Amino acid sequence: MSDFAADFAPGSVWLVGAGPGHAGLLTLQAHAALQAADVIVYDALVGEDILALAPEETPREYAGKRGGKPSPKQADITLRLIQLARQGKRVLRLKGGDPFVFGRGGEEALALVQAGVPFRICPGITAGIGGLAFAGIPLTHRDTNHAVTMITGHDATGNVTGVDWNAVARGSPALVLYMAIKHIGAIAEKLIAAGRPADEPVAVVTNASLPEMSVLETTLAAAAADIENHKVQPPAIVAIGEIVRLRAGLDWLGAAEGRKLQSDPLDLGRGDSEQAG
């Protein structure tokens, strides 16, 4: 067992972030936990290549929640974690991104506390950082923004009423939206009404860091229509602000693909200027 998981004790739960998707973005501690766990309870956005890093004989239990699709209830997921821990197992709760960034890790951890189950939080790279980096969009830049706000695109009711959009529009030059595709039209209207420019640049990054990653560049006013026209589907992260313009020079993945095409003109790759990854 790796030293990074030496204290992964039987009867405990580790809440581990798997990052935005690319297996190379796992932390050493996450990789060690995959090797040491007695059972893995994983989310919808955890890919097979990441799960394959665990021993083949380690049981895997799916506990993914996807908006608008049949999903296990959060209470049932938490109860299962407690049950497995009380069986004396090392329970790896593997979550996309970071457990504490819109990942319900806090809810699960509090339930473990109430049940008297030992736990540990293993941070991961959240999509709002790692996903945008793969798209060539810096979260901050001294010439564009000294603050950034990360926002969930829906609240506990499934709507966007829980966010003070007027304050957000005025207070942060760069916005990063999670789970916002369904409500992007309403969000854009609220931001524009609060004073954001209608032509403010927007980037929608889907399947961030994965080979099928795509990036749609648009504007705040046109975002909803462009997302519908391009049939953009979750999972997606949305960046709003001048940081998006920096992608023109920082699209390192697209530049690498361009070099590949120049060296091998018969390899047509994706052939779509809006695609990257």
Q: Read off the pLDDT of residues 239-271 as tens digits, 9 standing for 90 and up.
A: 999 999 999 999 999 887 765 545 444 343 333
Q: What is the pLDDT of residue 111?
A: 97
Per-residue pLDDT for 31 more than 90? yes
Which entry of 150, 179, 190, 226 is annotated as an active-site residue?
Answer: 179
122-131: per-residue pLDDT in tens?
999 999 999 9
Q: What is the pLDDT of residue 255?
A: 82
Q: What is the pLDDT of residue 269?
A: 35
Q: Considering only residues 221 and 273, tell me which one the structure prediction assigns the higher pLDDT.
A: 221
Q: Is 179 a catalytic residue?
A: yes
User: Nearest Cα to 204, choosing from 186, 220, 190?
Assistant: 220
Look up residue 82 and give its amino acid. Answer: I
The Cα–Cα gap between 195 and 89 comes to 53
**Cβ count within 10 A of residue 263:** 8
Q: What is the pLDDT of residue 234?
A: 92
Which entry of 43, 98, 226, 251 is annotated as an active-site residue?
Answer: 43
Averaged pLDDT for residues 142-158: 85
Q: What is the pLDDT of residue 70?
A: 65
Q: Is 150 a catalytic residue?
A: no
C-alpha distances out from residue 201 to 160, 195, 204, 271, Å: 21, 14, 10, 23
Q: Considering only residues 20 and 65, tell me which one the structure prediction assigns the higher pLDDT.
A: 20
Q: What is the pLDDT of residue 206?
A: 97
